[in-house]
Structure 1
Amino acid sequence: MSDSNSGPSPVTGEAVPVGTGIRQWLFRPPRRHGEVETSRNVSFLELFYDLVYVVLIIQAAHALAEDVSWRGMATFAVVFGMIWIAWLNGTLFYELHGREDGRTRSLIFVQMMLLSLLAVYAGHADGDDGRTFAALYALLLALLSYQWYSVYRRDLPELRETPRRYLLVMVAGVVVVAASVPLPADVRLAVWAFFVAAWCSAECVILISWRREPSYGVVTESMVERFGLFIILVLGELVIGVVNGLTATEPSALNTTTGLLGLAIGFGFWWNYADLASRRLPREAGHSLATWIFTHLPMAMAVAAAGAGMVGLAEHAADHRTPIAVSWLMGGSVAVMLLTTVVLLPALADYDRYLSAYKSVQAALVTAAVAALLVGWSRPAPWLLALILLLLLFATWVFAFVRWLRQGSLINERTAE
């Protein structure tokens, strides 16, 4: 396969008739299970695809920023979960089965069209727009299911059991979401919440069973990079939240300081994720791969939720105490980011090699997460809330850095990258 960022390769061998070449480029079937390309790079098309999901997330986060309440948070969590499930399916399909050809590109562009339409209705999915959102999402799931089926029918008989189970869960998801279209808004939201929880649970069980005795490897550097890039892209919502919050308020030193402190929280998210979890391969077998994949859902959700909270921080910068919902949202987002990192670390392939270092870092992360929740509960002034959360993130990174300096070999590996 040519470099994944390039277009069709120039002819280097025997000439192929134009008609044959077009058919091969447009109708070549996807790779079977087991045909994993371990040396490929993340393509420009994948990055383009992820950017469309970021637009969806921005719409959902804006809705949360406008309604920072328990209902608003619940709606955001459910809608974000649905968005992430679709992203996971598109990402894993390209990683395991996609090709640099016209068929793969065409199907991805169709998905991107559906995702763009979904973004129109994502901001008010808990109201009347939810009917259209559900119909479009069911259609997207059906398209993704078709892609998985196109692989299943080409798989070797001995490799079909797990894909069959996966397909059944996908089809069940299409039915459940489609059935929610005519329901009242609150009932529809409850059905979506059931879908997200049930789908993740079922696929997690399937993945654990499949990887108990893996017949071939699926973990690649490109897959790890793709998950990391998605976290980085979602961090863009945090920057947007700061900008929106500052734009909506009168310019002042206090407002600007509060906004910049909030932005620095995003830097803390990036720094901890980049040095503790990114670019590290997960284990292949057991429950580790499932843990690694599905822990990225609440982690990415926490980053996006913090972006929505930034608007409230900036708008209430002059208040003596942060509004309770905003305070809990910010403290909870930082706590979830830290705790999901704690859960993620044991799933890494090098965890046992540096067990003592990782365990001490996990203890520091848990301590900081509890402190973040206490800060959210205490509701200090917005600038002080942002400052304390930033210091907690900074302290965890400094602790990890010092711990790894003492470890020696690990820090040398990281700096060599």
Structure 2
Amino acid sequence: MLFFDLVFVFALTQITALMAHDLSWHNVVRGALLLGLLWWSWAAYSWVSNIAKADEGAVRTVVLCAMAAMFVIALAIPEAFHDLPGGLPGPVVIAVAYFVLRAMHLVLLWLIAAGDQMLRRTIALFAIGKIAATVLLLIASQYHGTTQTLLWAGALAADYLVTYFVDARGWRFNSPSHWAERHGLIIIIALGESIVAIGVGVTNLPISWPILVASLLGLAVCAALWWVYFDATVYYGEKALADEPPETRPWLARDAYTFLHLPMVAGIVFLALGLKKVLEYVGDTGHHHLDDPLHGIGLIALYGGVVVYLLGHVGFKRRTVHHWSASRLLTAAVLIIAVPLVHDVPALGQIAVLAAALSCLVAFEAVRFARERDELKHHEHPA
């Protein structure tokens, strides 16, 4: 499944590039819709890998075919909403590839559920959302502008809401440790995409002290987000899954991971967009001065991406261990308040403030929760 993850992160890179190419609110919304589409596809196959071995027999073949379909979607992302002259119609290509991706998923689940009528009933109900989403995407491919965007939103709503409200009795969930590991891997791969965005932001620009400082500050921000997840979150999430009764464990996995990891990944993608813009500002002296501030969507993506990421963690902790994370809520609130305060600060100063705020969060939690963290890391979880 790691191979599948690499295709997913390529798609994230394409989304960041799409939003950066046309930095408008409408295009950012479209980028978010594309992310929602790809996340739902990735999450679907994560469930498959938890109930069947993905590297054996027919499952491996289907996963490889699904990976090809996701790769096609990723390749077509630049034409997801605006078809370029010549070639195949990009919006239709994405709709068809998405249908293939989800259809193979349902077929695979149907085969895995052989002899289990309750599970097959659940899978059949899930198919309603998949079919509705595909139909709406195909209809959207024939429109432009706001209508097209709204149809995309409707397609995602159909898929997400059907999944959330369908009675999933009989659903299988085999391994809490594997489930937690899969989602941890996708977080670190997404963070890797943010680091790539730093490099892409200064491609073909001569190296300079401002570029070095901004790059290291961006790396510090990514490292802090890594710490926030992997220092404790990954452990209490896995422990909560292991402790949850088997009959309700699928619901916890769905809420805490399938739904609440989406804002974490989305936050990282928006952060990558902000980092890319910061590096352009400090490095491209032909179009910007070193004292130019990052403003508008670029600034909101930089700070807002981290806020969304932290709020995803707050929701995750509340759902898994039934506690609110006051430190992360407070940091998110401080960053929201900071946006208008740093509006006129040079881009280099803006990213320095962000790095400083996250460093304070990391330092506080490292001291405040040292004993709890140590207990979590040395607690043996059942597979």
> The TM-score by the shorter chain falls in which range?
0.7 to 0.9
Distance 2:353 2:378 in 1: 28
Distance 1:73 1:310 in 2: 15
Q: Which residue of 1 aligns with 2:256?
A: 292
Distance 1:173 1:149 in 2: 19
Across the aligned residues of Structure 1 and Structure 2, the Cα RMSD in angstroms comes to: 2.3
C-alpha offsets along residues 22-78 of structure 1, whole Å, 9 cap, x if unaligned?
Answer: xxxxxxxxxxxxxxxxxxxxxxxx111110111111111111122222122111100
Q: Which residue of 1 aligns with 2:356?
A: 391
Q: Which residue of 1 aligns with 2:317?
A: 345
Q: Which residue of 2 aligns with 1:70?
A: 25
- Residue pairs, 1:395-406, within 5 angstroms: 395-405=360-370
Distance 1:167 1:218, change over 3 A: farther
CA contact (8 A) 1:235 1:266 kept: yes
Letter of the aligned partner of 2:329 in structure 1? V
C-alpha offsets along residues 120-155 of structure 1, whole Å, 9 cap, x if unaligned?
Answer: 111331211323222322222222232233334x14
C-alpha offsets along residues 8-35 of structure 1, whole Å, 9 cap, x if unaligned?
Answer: xxxxxxxxxxxxxxxxxxxxxxxxxxxx
In the TM superposition, residue 218 of structure 1 has moved relative to its aligned partner by 4.3
In the TM superposition, residue 172 of structure 1 has moved relative to its aligned partner by 2.5
The unaligned stretches of length 5 or more in structure 2 are 84-89, 283-289
Distance 1:238 1:269 in 2: 11
Q: Which residue of 2 aligns with 1:42?
A: none
Q: Which residue of 2 aligns with 1:269?
A: 225
Matched, 1:144 2:144: no
| TM-score between both structures, scaled by the size of structure 2 | 0.85
CA contact (8 A) 2:52 2:112 kept: yes
Q: Which residue of 2 aligns with 1:80?
A: 35
| TM-score between both structures, scaled by the size of structure 1 | 0.79
Q: Which residue of 2 aligns with 1:156?
A: 116
CA contact (8 A) 2:51 2:172 kept: no
- Residue pairs, 1:257-336, within 5 angstroms: 257-279=213-235, 280-281=237-238, 282-283=240-241, 284=244, 285=248, 288-293=252-257, 294-317=259-282, 318-336=290-308
In the TM superposition, residue 222 of structure 1 has moved relative to its aligned partner by 0.4
The unaligned stretches of length 5 or more in structure 1 are 1-45, 353-357
Structure 1 or 2: more helix by fraction = 2
CA contact (8 A) 1:261 1:387 kept: yes
Aligned to 1:413, which of 358, 376, 381?
Answer: 376
C-alpha offsets along residues 321-351 of structure 1, whole Å, 9 cap, x if unaligned?
Answer: 2122211111100111111100001222xx2
Q: Which residue of 2 aligns with 1:167?
A: 127
Distance 1:215 1:233, change over 3 A: closer
Distance 1:251 1:260 in 2: 13
Letter of the aligned partner of 1:141 in structure 2? R
- Residue pairs, 1:17-416, within 5 angstroms: 46-128=1-83, 129-152=90-113, 154-206=114-166, 209-210=167-168, 217-218=173-174, 220-279=176-235, 280-281=237-238, 282-283=240-241, 284=244, 285=248, 288-293=252-257, 294-317=259-282, 318-348=290-320, 351=321, 359=324, 362-378=325-341, 379=343, 380-405=345-370, 408-414=371-377
| 3-state SS of paired residue (2:202) | helix
In the TM superposition, residue 230 of structure 1 has moved relative to its aligned partner by 0.5
In the TM superposition, residue 274 of structure 1 has moved relative to its aligned partner by 0.8
- Asked which structure has the greater CA Rg, the reply is 1
Distance 2:57 2:173 in 1: 27
Distance 1:71 1:276, change over 3 A: farther
CA contact (8 A) 2:96 2:134 kept: no
Letter of the aligned partner of 1:111 in structure 2? A
In the TM superposition, residue 416 of structure 1 has moved relative to its aligned partner by 7.4
In the TM superposition, residue 210 of structure 1 has moved relative to its aligned partner by 3.2
Distance 1:141 1:274, change over 3 A: same
Distance 1:409 1:375, change over 3 A: closer
Distance 1:410 1:120, change over 3 A: closer
Distance 1:168 1:197, change over 3 A: closer
Q: Which residue of 2 aligns with 1:36?
A: none
Q: Which residue of 1 aligns with 2:285?
A: none
Distance 1:83 1:231 in 2: 14
